[in-house]
Structure formats: C-alpha cells, structure tokens
C-alpha cells in the first residue's frame, strides 16, 4: 500500500467510523431514569451550581462525604451538563456518546502508535489498518451499551478518555524524552483517578509496558534507562496507593465481602470471572445489566482449574492473534490489569458488570485489531471475495445487537425484564422487576413477581417485606402480617423491614406492635431512624400521647429534614394542630420551610397558623409562597386576603379576595363579605356596599354580612337602609344569645342617628 493510500484510508475511514459511532448510539438519547443511582443527577445538590464554593466542595469535600468515593471530575462534568439542560437525561446521554466516540479516536491513535513502533516487520507498515480495525470493533461492540446508554456511564467514558491520554503520552515520553509529555501523562492520570476509581489500574499497565515494550538489549529501558525508568513510575503508584487506602479503609469498599466469603474462594472465582468476560467479548449475546455470577462460599478446585485452563488457552490464542511478540503480551497485561480492581477481591456493587469491561477491553481490541488485519489477509488469500463480506456481516451483527440492547435502558421495567428474560432463575432480577412494576402502580403484576422471587429464594427477606406492603395496600391484612413476620424472621437486621412491619400493624390498628416495630427501626437506623420516629409519632398522636409524639417529631426533623416530603410536614403539623398544639405545629412547618421541602399545602397551613398567632407579615409571606406553588387554590387567596387585611394592606387584600372569587363558587358569600370589609377600609364605599349586597343575594340569611352592611349604612348616616338591615339582623339573631351584644350595639348606633344630642 502506498503512502498516499495509507493517508487516504485514515482521511476517509476514520471520520466514517467516528460518525457511525455517534449515529449508532443516538437512540440512547431517548432513554430515561432506570431507578439505579438516579439521585446522582436528580437529587444531587453538588451539580446544581458552578459557583466557587460549589467547585471547592467538589474537590475538597466535607468530612460528612468521607464515605463516598472521591470523584470530583465526574461531579464537575455532571454540573456542566446540568447547567445546559437541567435534569433532562438526553444531555447526559449525549455526553456519554461524545465521550465514547472520543475514546474510539484515542484508541485508534494509541493502537496505531503501538503498532508502528512495536508491531514488528509484519505489522508496522499496516499500523493505520490495525488502528482502524481496533477502533471499529471498539465502537461497535455491544458490551459498551451499559456505559453509553446508562446515565451514570459517563464516569466510565470520561475516565477512559483520561486513561488513554495518559497511556499514550507516557509511551511517547519514553520514546521522545520530552518532559511535558510525562507531565501530560501524570496530570491525565490524576484526572482519571478523580473521575472514577477504576483508573487505579493504570500504573500496572504502565509497568507492563515498561517490562514488555521498553526494555532494550541488556535489560536497559528506553529514555532514562536503568533505575530511572522505574523511578518515573513511582509518581503514578503513590496516588494509586492513596486512593486504594481511602477505598478500603475510609469509604464503603472493604476487603471482606458482604457474605463473608473467604478470600481463597474469591481468589478461585477470578479465573471464572475473567473467563466469562472473555466469552462476552468473543460472543456478545445474553448481555444485560446484571449477571448471576457470585463467589461460592467454599473453594471449587475443579471449577477453578477448568477456568484457568480456559484462560491459558484463550490467552495464548489472543497472543497469537495479535501476532505474538510484544503487542500480544501487552494486550494480555492490559486486560488483566484493567480487570484486577473489580475481580471480587474487594466488595463492589456487583461481581460482574459490562461497565467493568470498558477499560480492560482496550487490550483485547488491541489484539483484535492486529488479528483482524492478519485474518483478512489470510482469508483474502484463501477465500478471495469472501473476506470483506464476512467482516461486514460481523460488523452489522454487532451493530444490530448494540442497537437492540440500547432499548433495555429505557426505563426500570425494560431494564429488569431483559435480565429476567436472559436469566429467569435470577431471584434478584425478578425482585427488581417487581419493584419496577410496583413503581408504575402495577401492583398485581408486582405481587406475582415478588411471589416468584420468593419461590426462587424462600430466604429473600426483602421480597417478603415488599410483598407484605402490597398485600396490605390490597386490604389483605392477615396475609400481609404473615408475610411481614416472615420478613422480620429472615432479616431481623434490616431497619426497612421493621419499618414496613410497623406501618402494616399501625394500619391494622395494632398500635403496641407498631410502636415496638418503629422502635426497632430507630435502633437499627440504616438511615431510616427518622422514618421510624415519624411513624412512631403518628401512632403516639392517635393515642393522645402528645408530649412524646412532639419529641419524636422534633428528633425526626433533626435527623431527616432534607428527606421529608411536603405531605409529611403537613401531616405532622395538622396532627399537632388538631391536638391544640398550634404553636408547635407552626414551629415544625417553619423548620420544613427552612429545609425547602414544603409544598403548596404546607405553606398554606403555615400561613394559616401564623395568621391565628397574629403574625400577619409572616403569614403574608408564607401564603405568597403557597400561591406561587399553586395559584389555583382559592383557599390560599382567601387566607392571603385576611392576612393582608390584618396587616393593614387593604388594597392587597382586595386583590387577593377577587382572585379567590374568580376561582371559587362554593364559598362566595364568605369571600364577598370579607371583600366588603377590605373595600370599605380601602375607601371604595360603593364597591363595598355592592359586595355585601351580592353576598346577601347569594345567602339572604347570612347574619355576619347583615351586621357589616347595617354598620356600613350607619357609618354612612343612611338611616332607612340601616333600619332595614337591623330588622333582618333581629330576625336572624332570634334564639341566638351570643349575638345579643352586637344587636344592641347596632340599635344604639341607630338611635344616635335619630337623636344626635344623646
């Protein structure tokens, strides 16, 4: 192939691959939330602002964030996307697609560089073709769907971009000796670590490159040589060790597994795990978001040896596929080093996941790129005319699988339906599908699925607990009680199970058992202590134990104020108000206002309580907040009219009452009566008279409007209309002693009109 044709190949083929990579994943832009780490975008205050204080918090987190892994660049990337499109996921998916496409380009550049320098005489002149083949396979492969089509996949794609930049710059530094390349490599590595902890494997990959690629004859290294070659790796290992310490001894990752599976058993699981990953790369079928592979509680020597043999044979085949030599060895090191952090030796969210394969697969695609070129050459010689159609068919097949799998990530039901389809005996997948169905309100289907999950694993305590909740909602109290008792027997350590038990017994009227369950919830906590306190307080209120209920409410607010929903604040306050504890109710709602979680009804109730307490300016502000959240609630405008009137804002009260009249028909006489008083104080006397007359036209027996209209006429020195209203007042007040004083006042005022000297 001539130099011109080589350049033409890159000029046209590479942009075509990059464009195809983007087009292939465009359907992912329509995907939604799947109920898996949604809060990282939906409920994450850390991405809501790009202020200096927010940026500082991203990179220098408070001590309260010490249990989370350190991923500031992921947070920064999400904050930038949020600034553009808020929580609309299409923008986050677009970030994933663009980053994945950038990684396709970076892989091409890196593989081409590796092949040019270490591909040997057979491949060095085919570096462009090897790079394009590797890039195309990487762009199409279905195992990457999880990373690109899941809104959280951006942390993997961004980390991989920094990872590849660091690796490429390091290789170039060893050949060219320019210090800035080394600095680029190190800074990119730190960026990768700050995006996702999986980058911790890069120093091992670099060490492998030093051993395999960079040694010269006599054991000396490339630029720097001797000990200097190893010293340049030291700065890469130091942050890796620091992050490893943080993950193992500070954050949620631990050496021990949740099931206390012995380390030796987990070691024997590594060959099986790596073998499964190789199978997924070679035969990308039955791909889904969760695989049933788990570390066994005891060592299976036979299984472990079988997988070791499989890995050895597969490794040799990949080594040969890459043309043997240095590139073949590097491909295997890249794969092994990339998988090591997620090989089950420490606890992770799941033992096997496609997203864990994104970095390790780079090594396999390095081998596959050179292997593809060699195979096409061989097939072209042996089977002329068939090589390219076969390669095209393979590419189309992978693209079709990739397109189909993107639909799995549309919503929670699609996601877990796929897992159940592939692994129908996976009890966790059936459980999650049941949970997704319940989230859609499809309770009957959810009940059926929970029962199926229990049939697969009768010891599944969470499935029993969720089934109990749905049975209680359906009114099957006895079955719900049986199910929740089974759940607590299986999972006595789970606060959530005790919480559900308490709710079920409270709804059944068995307060003593409910109180015991909520107390267990508080003791176990698991972040649910505030819910236990809240529900215990509601039971105590029903039992008229107001003092303890208020104490529980207060503690619940202290522990969980940001998590309280507006309806919970309102329910608490309304219960206290009914118990004649209005001051305490107002205090709690003011805490809810500070937490920023009150809804329109909560602000309306707070305004009413402040109005009762005579705190009119505060009531006005609370009711304005309620009106901003729900401008169609006539009650808000009515209360706002009262609050403004009592605060001396007659004109504002008139406006509020008129808004209420435009929304309500059932309470028009009362609102018109209040409007008349406000208009009178605003000096609009004809309109005030009209308002009272309109109220009486709707309800001629409305005593309060008669009182106000009579007083209005007396103040206007209109005796005959006043006397007429007084007669109506006497008629309506007959037999109502509590009104006698007001009738007498009106009579005395009328007498003064007749005899002004008295």
- DSSP for 260-320, please give it: ---HHHHHHHHHHHHHHHHHHHHS--S--S-------SS--HHHHHHHHHHHHHHHHHHHH
184 contact partners, CB below 8 Å, separation of at least 6: 165, 166, 169
Question: Which of 7-21, 87-101, 394-408, 452-466 shows the lowest per-residue confidence on average (mean pLDDT)?
Answer: 7-21
Can you tell me the mean pLDDT for 237-242?
Answer: 90
Nearest to 288 by CA among 149, 136, 138, 121: 149
Can you tell me the mean pLDDT for 500-529?
Answer: 94
pLDDT tens by residue, 208-231: 998 888 764 333 444 445 556 678
DSSP symbols for 28-84: GGG----SSSTHHHHS-GGGS--SHHHHHHHHS--GGGTTS---HHHHHHHHHHHHH
Check if the beta carbon of residue 148 is closer than 8 Å to that of residue 97. yes
pTM, 2 dp: 0.80
Three-class secondary structure of residue 494 per DSSP: coil
* In the block, residue with structure tokens 């350049």: 7
Inform me whether the pLDDT recorded for 526 exceeds 60: yes
- DSSP conformational letter for 349: S
Helices (H), 613-649: 616-629, 634-646
- For residue 490, CA distances in Å to 460, 486, 524, 630, 700 come to 7, 6, 15, 45, 67
pLDDT at 32: 92
Check if the beta carbon of residue 376 is closer than 8 Å to that of residue 129. no
The phi, psi pair for 425, rounded to 5°, reads -95, 10
Question: Which of 13-27, 220-234, 459-473 shows the lowest per-residue confidence on average (mean pLDDT)?
Answer: 220-234
Nearest to 315 by CA among 297, 332, 303: 332
Inform me whether the pLDDT recorded for 383 exceeds 60: no
pLDDT at 4: 40
Give one word for 323, left, alpha or beta, with left for phi > 0 and alpha for psi -120 to 50.
Answer: left
What percentage of the chain reaches a pLDDT higher than 90?
A: 47
Check if the beta carbon of residue 335 is closer than 8 Å to that of residue 300. no
pLDDT at 757: 53
pLDDT at 215: 63
pLDDT at 98: 96
Dig out the tokens for 532 from the structure: 């236990």
CB burial of residue 545 (10 Å; 0-12, 13-18, 19+): middle
CB burial of residue 553 (10 Å; 0-12, 13-18, 19+): buried
Return the percent helix, strand and coil in the chain, to nearest 5: 80, 0, 20
pLDDT tens by residue, 616-672: 999 999 999 999 999 999 999 999 999 999 999 999 999 999 999 998 777 889 999
Average pLDDT over the chain reads: 85
> Would you list the domain boundaries of the chain?
3-405
CB-based burial, 258-290: b 16+ in 10 Å, e otherwise: eeebeeebbebbbbbbbbbbbebbeebeebbbb
Rounded Cα distance, 167 and 145, in Å: 24
Q: Give first-to-last CA distance, the chain, whole Å.
A: 123
HSE at residue 245, side-chain half, CA atoms within 13 A, is: 5
CB-based burial, 502-532: b 16+ in 10 Å, e otherwise: bbbbbeeebeeebbbbbebbbebeeebbbbb
Dig out the tokens for 333 from the structure: 């090191």
Can you tell me the mean pLDDT for 579-595?
Answer: 81
Three-class secondary structure of residue 667 per DSSP: coil
What percentage of the chain reaches a pLDDT higher than 70?
A: 89
Check if the beta carbon of residue 704 is closer than 8 Å to that of residue 743. no
pLDDT tens by residue, 142-193: 999 999 999 888 889 999 999 999 999 999 998 888 999 999 999 999 999 9
Dig out the tokens for 571 from the structure: 């329910």
Dig out the tokens for 558 from the structure: 């202290």
- DSSP conformational letter for 502: H
Question: Which of 65-79, 327-341, 672-686, 696-710 shows the lowest per-residue confidence on average (mean pLDDT)?
Answer: 65-79
pLDDT band at 8 (very low <50, low <70, confident <90, very high): low
Angle between helices 52-59 and 72-85 (to 10 degrees): 150
pLDDT tens by residue, 720-730: 887 887 787 77
Rounded Cα distance, 605 and 585, in Å: 9
Inform me whether the pLDDT recorded for 385 exceeds 60: no
Angle between helices 127-140 and 89-118 (to 10 degrees): 150
């Amino acid at each position: 192939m001539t130099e011109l044709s080589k350049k033409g190949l890159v000029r046209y083929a590479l942009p075509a691959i990059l464009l195809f990579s983007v087009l292939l994943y465009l359907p992912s832009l329509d995907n939604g939330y799947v109920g898996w780490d949604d809060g990282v975008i939906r409920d994450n205050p850390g991405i809501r602002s790009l202020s200096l204080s927010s940026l500082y918090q991203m990179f220098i987190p408070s001590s309260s964030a010490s249990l989370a892994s350190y991923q500031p660049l992921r947070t920064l990337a999400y904050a930038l996307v949020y600034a553009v499109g808020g929580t609309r996921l299409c923008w986050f998916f677009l970030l994933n697609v663009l980053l994945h496409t950038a990684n396709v380009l970076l892989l091409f550049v890196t593989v081409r560089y590796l092949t040019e320098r270490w591909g040997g005489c057979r491949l060095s002149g085919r570096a462009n073709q090897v790079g394009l083949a590797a890039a195309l396979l990487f762009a199409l492969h279905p195992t990457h769907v999880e990373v690109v089509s899941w809104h959280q996949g951006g942390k993997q794609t961004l980390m991989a971009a920094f990872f590849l930049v660091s690796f490429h710059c390091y290789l170039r530094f060893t050949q060219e000796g320019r210090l800035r390349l080394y600095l680029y490599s190190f800074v990119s590595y730190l960026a990768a670590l700050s995006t996702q902890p999986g980058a911790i494997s890069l120093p091992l990959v670099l060490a492998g490159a030093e051993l395999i690629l960079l040694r010269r004859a006599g054991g000396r290294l490339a630029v720097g040589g001797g000990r200097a070659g190893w010293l340049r790796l030291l700065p890469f290992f130091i942050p890796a060790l620091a992050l490893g310490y943080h993950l193992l001894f500070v954050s949620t990752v631990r050496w021990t597994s949740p099931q206390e599976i012995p380390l030796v058993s987990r070691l024997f699981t590594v060959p099986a795990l790596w073998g499964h990953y190789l199978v997924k790369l070679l035969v990308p079928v039955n791909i889904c978001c969760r695989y049933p592979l788990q570390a066994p509680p005891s060592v299976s020597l036979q299984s472990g040896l079988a997988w070791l043999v499989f890995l050895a044979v597969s490794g040799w085949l990949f080594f040969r596929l890459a043309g043997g030599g240095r590139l073949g060895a590097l491909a295997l090191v890249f794969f092994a080093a990339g998988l090591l952090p997620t090989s089950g030796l420490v606890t992770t969210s799941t033992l096997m996941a496609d997203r864990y394969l994104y970095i390790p697969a780079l090594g396999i695609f390095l081998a596959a790129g050179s292997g593809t070129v060699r195979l096409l050459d061989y097939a072209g010689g042996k089977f002329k005319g068939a090589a390219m159609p076969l390669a095209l068919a393979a590419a189309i097949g992978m693209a079709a699988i990739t397109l189909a799998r993107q639909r799995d990530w549309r919503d929670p039901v699609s996601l877990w339906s796929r897992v159940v389809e592939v692994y129908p005996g996976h009890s966790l997948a059936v459980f999650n599908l049941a949970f997704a169905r319940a989230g859609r309100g499809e309770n009957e289907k959810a009940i059926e699925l929970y029962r199926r999950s229990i049939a697969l694993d009768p010891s599944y305590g969470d499935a029993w607990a969720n089934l109990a909740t749905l049975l209680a909602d359906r009114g099957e109290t006895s079955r719900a009680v049986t199910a929740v008792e089974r759940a607590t027997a299986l999972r006595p350590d789970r606060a959530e199970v005790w919480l559900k038990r308490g709710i079920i017994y409270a709804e059944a009227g068995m307060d003593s058992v409910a109180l015991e369950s909520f107390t267990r919830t508080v003791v176990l906590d698991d972040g649910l202590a505030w819910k236990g306190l809240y529900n215990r307080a509601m039971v105590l209120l029903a039992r008229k134990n107001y003092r303890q209920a208020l104490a529980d409410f207060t503690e619940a607010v202290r522990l969980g104020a940001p998590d309280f929903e507006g309806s919970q604040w309102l329910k608490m306050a309304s219960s206290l108000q009914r118990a004649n504890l209005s001051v305490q109710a107002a205090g709690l709602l003011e805490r809810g206002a500070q937490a920023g979680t009150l809804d329109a009804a909560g602000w309306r109730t707070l305004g009413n309580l402040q109005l009762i307490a005579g705190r009119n300016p505060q009531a006005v502000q609370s009711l304005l907040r309620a009106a901003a959240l729900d401008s169609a609630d006539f009650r808000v405008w009515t209360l706002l009219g009262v609050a403004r009137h009592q605060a001396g804002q007659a004109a504002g009260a008139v406006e509020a009452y008129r808004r209420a009249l435009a929304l309500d028909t059932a309470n028009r006489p009362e609102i018109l009566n209040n409007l008349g008083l406000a208009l009178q104080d605003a000096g609009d006397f004809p309109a005030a008279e009209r308002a009272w007359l309109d109220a009486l036209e709707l309800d001629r027996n409305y005593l309060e409007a008669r009182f106000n209209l009579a007083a209005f006429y007396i103040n206007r020195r209109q005796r005959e209309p006043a006397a007429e209203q007084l007669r109506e007042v006497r008629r309506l007040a007959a037999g109502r002693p509590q009104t006698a004083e007001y009738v007498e006042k009106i009579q005395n005022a009328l007498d003064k009109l007749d005899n002004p000297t008295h």
